[in-house]
Structure 1
Amino acid sequence: MRKGALALLLLLAPTLAQPLPEALKKAPEVTAVVLARLEAETRRKDLERTLQDPLRTPLAELQARQAWELAEARLKRALAQAENEIASAYAQAYEALLQVGLAEKAVEVAELGLKATEIRLKGGGATSLDLLEAQNRLLEARKNLELAQKGRDSALAALAQLVGPWRPESVKELPTLPEGKVVETLLQEHADLLQLRQSLNLLRFQRGLLDESFAPRKDIEALEDQSQALETNLANLERTLRLGLEARYRQLVPLLQGVKAAEEAYRAAQERYRAEEKRFQAGLTSRLSLLQQELSLRQAELTLEQAKHAYLKAYYGLLASR
């Protein structure tokens, strides 16, 4: 067996199927998070050493504390971004699995449709053009299946890079809308804003150390100019980030509404399939009609999962914007 085929079998092993919350637990193991955690630990130790130094200066203590706080903020961001990447890859992989199932069913429908056309042609109920069209539909369905299988392999491999061999499944429960002042919280924890705030505080601290009686006026004015420039940059960045975060947050409600609409459409498709199945069992409809209804049901299922995933990606994308 080729290595690629063996790897795929491992990826598809039923025992490896796990829900999204289990996959998200792998976020702390993502390389970027591991590196950010090491940096935060290093900065924490630096701060402890600085605080234990009896000869430390207030400036040295401030700089060590700022370095640790910034490293912690970057660790939180790395973890949130890793969860966002995992959620996105998980959703993509599950959709890819559904796409394969949908494509396989389409091939089955096209094969049966071709057989039906061949029989009708022999009985004079179809033309050569009908047969050609049925053959083309089958070729197209098989091509789509091949593309779907390649997409599945690629999506599962991308997910495996983040969490190891994994078979995703349908997301049963979506996270609820973030409560409270989520935008304010994300702005407060945003690493880039924190870095600017720290730089501003450091300049103000350095300005406070200067004695106007001895320090050259140009040095004092230079620090004051730098402070004003940083204040402007900080305000501009915060305004830009706030607009972006508010826009992301506003997307969540309509995306949840889209999930509800897709759920209703899926339930309706289930009802239609059950009705067609009863008709088929009673001999009132053909197997081809039943397969076509099953194909519609699978499409409705895919649409529902895509709606769920759109919300998931927006939700974790918002939390990663810090």
Structure 2
Amino acid sequence: MKRGLLLAIALLGPTGGLAQDLFAPLENHPSLLQAKLALEAARAQLRATQSPLSFQAQGGFSFFDVAPPPGPPVCPNPLNPQCANLPTEAQQVSLGLTLTPFPFGDVADAVNQAAIGVAQAELGLQQARAQLQAQAVEAAYRVRLAEGGLEVARLAVRLAQAGLEATRLRAERGGAASGELRQAEASLRQAVLQQAEAERNLGLARKSLADLIGSEQAAPPPLDPPPEATPPSVRQAELQLQNAQIAYDRALRSVLPVLQGSYTRNTSSNEAWTLSLNSRTLQPSLGYTYQSQGRTPPQDRINGVLQIGLSANLSFGVLEALEAAQKQVEAAQQALEAARRNSRLQLELLKSGVEAAEQNLSNAQSALKDAEKALTEAKERERLGLASPLSTLQAELSLAQARLGVEQAQFTRIQRILDLYRFYALPIREVKP
């Protein structure tokens, strides 16, 4: 009755209450928490690279060791530069503000690499959740199998006890030899040992389930093969190809010349504002500079400075780096193709395993129907006095074994389906924290 109730609850499906309890506690598992934290770190890194503004500040102090001016203690001409008093210290402050209106060049590379890091962290979280949920389902089914095994072991003990009692009665009447009696006693001892082993297996199965979800009993949901998706091995190869392409683009830009332009406006002899831009990132920068030592004549008559520059790196090492980056892209493309081929082959093997498991389940269900008919016939023969109660008990044991065989076949089918979930890195159910 209890086993039937548990099976009925399990048949409620993925939306059933107990089925949800199987997965919700897994969200606090250390491996899943680690994957969540890694994803949060990757997203924070992406937000940092996408920041539209950045601010820089720099300050400094200078101290001078000044020698006394030459000549007499009092200079006759104060306008003589040699008679001027030199400062013993100076201060400088620089402030900068950089705007990123849109990612371009090196900034775009950083953003794209951070986005790839987020995708990899999301894939890692997906794999961790899929693996844990598959382990929980297997653990729940192992509890059910262990319960069925214990039921079969108990029936085997009852049958062995009944067989021993029948053999003793026959021995008392002279119809059984002493060897048969010893064999019946040995069968009972073996059945008792198997029952003890079944109890230990059930305890271990419950402990394994409790380690995952904190409970020794849970109803596993029925599972169907998952929809097709991109395997994580292929997805990883795609991300590696994107990384290789980013490295090639960076190497290509290192060959191209960089155009730089800036305009500095001197607002006073001590202060200046600078606006600059370069073709490598297209990030406009605004800077402010203060120097305690102001500009001296005739430099103080310069109100603004416009600078335009062009730089290029034409070393042979840069060309070699570009070729190496191109080879890395080609290698990543071949790795992606290999991953796709391997995944197709592995998928065919996994689907074949599911089909074989379903056939075995069908055979086990047919054997269960035969065992049910055999028990009905045995009970009828016992009612008519054509068979002993021992035959009926043997039929009950055969029926329990057939039921256990069905559960074992169901578990094998579930395992093959879970292999597909692991292959696709698909969680059985997404659980919101």
- TM-score tier, shorter chain, comes to 0.7 to 0.9
1:99 corresponds, among 149, 153, 174, to 149
Secondary structure at the counterpart of residue 320 of structure 1: helix
Say whether residues 1:155 and 2:201 are aligned partners: no
Which has the greater radius of gyration?
2
Contact 2:251 2:325 in 1 (8 A): yes
Q: In 2 relative to 1, CA 225–212 (structure 1 residues): closer, same or farther, beyond 3 Å? A: farther
Moved more, 102-111 or 55-64: 55-64
The CA deviation string for residues 94-132 of structure 1, in whole angstroms up to 9 with x for no partner, is 111111111111011001101110110111111011111
In the alignment, what sits opposite 1:9?
none
Unaligned runs of 5+ residues in structure 1 are 1-13
In the alignment, what sits opposite 2:250?
206
In the alignment, what sits opposite 1:52?
51
Say whether residues 1:263 and 2:365 are aligned partners: yes
1:177 corresponds, among 211, 225, 244, to 225
Q: CA–CA distance in 1 between the matches of 2:34 and 2:321?
A: 38
Determine which structure has the larger helix proportion and give its number: 1
Moved more, 86-95 or 116-125: 86-95
Say whether residues 1:144 and 2:194 are aligned partners: yes
2:160 corresponds, among 85, 110, 113, to 110
The residue correspondences of 1:243-322 to structure 2 (distance < 5 A) are: 243-321=345-423, 322=425
Q: In 2 relative to 1, CA 39–61 (structure 1 residues): closer, same or farther, beyond 3 Å? A: same
Q: CA–CA distance in 2 between the matches of 1:43 and 1:268?
A: 58
Q: CA–CA distance in 2 between the matches of 1:95 and 1:242?
A: 33
In the alignment, what sits opposite 2:343?
241
Q: CA–CA distance in 1 between the matches of 2:235 and 2:27?
A: 18
Q: CA–CA distance in 2 between the matches of 1:104 and 1:94?
A: 15
Structure 1 residue 24: Cα displacement: 3.6
Q: In 2 relative to 1, CA 201–242 (structure 1 residues): closer, same or farther, beyond 3 Å? A: farther
Moved more, 32-41 or 117-126: 32-41
In the alignment, what sits opposite 2:230?
186
In the alignment, what sits opposite 1:21?
19
CA RMSD of aligned residues (A): 2.6
Contact 2:233 2:339 in 1 (8 A): no
Structure 1 residue 226: Cα displacement: 2.2
Task: Name the aligned partner's letter for residue 21 of structure 1.
Answer: A
Q: May I ask how many residue pairs the two structures share in their alignment?
A: 303
Task: Name the aligned partner's letter for residue 254 of structure 1.
Answer: A
Contact 2:167 2:180 in 1 (8 A): yes
Contact 1:276 1:285 in 2 (8 A): yes
Task: Name the aligned partner's letter for residue 254 of structure 2.
Answer: L
Structure 1 residue 45: Cα displacement: 2.6
Q: In 2 relative to 1, CA 109–159 (structure 1 residues): closer, same or farther, beyond 3 Å? A: same
Moved more, 292-301 or 210-219: 210-219
TM, length-normalised to structure 2: 0.64
Task: Name the aligned partner's letter for residue 36 of structure 1.
Answer: A
Structure 1 residue 291: Cα displacement: 1.1
Q: CA–CA distance in 1 between the matches of 2:218 and 2:159?
A: 27
TM, length-normalised to structure 1: 0.85
Task: Name the aligned partner's letter for residue 115 of structure 1.
Answer: E
The CA deviation string for residues 204-256 of structure 1, in whole angstroms up to 9 with x for no partner, is 33244332573521111121222223333333233223321221122212222
The CA deviation string for residues 106-165 of structure 1, in whole angstroms up to 9 with x for no partner, is 011001101110110111111011111111111111111111111111111111111111
Contact 2:142 2:205 in 1 (8 A): yes
Unaligned runs of 5+ residues in structure 2 are 11-17, 54-98, 101-106, 258-312, 426-433
By relative contact order (CA 8 Å, sep 6+), the higher-ranking structure is: 1
Contact 1:94 1:168 in 2 (8 A): no
In the alignment, what sits opposite 2:32?
33
The CA deviation string for residues 246-270 of structure 1, in whole angstroms up to 9 with x for no partner, is 2112221222222222222212211
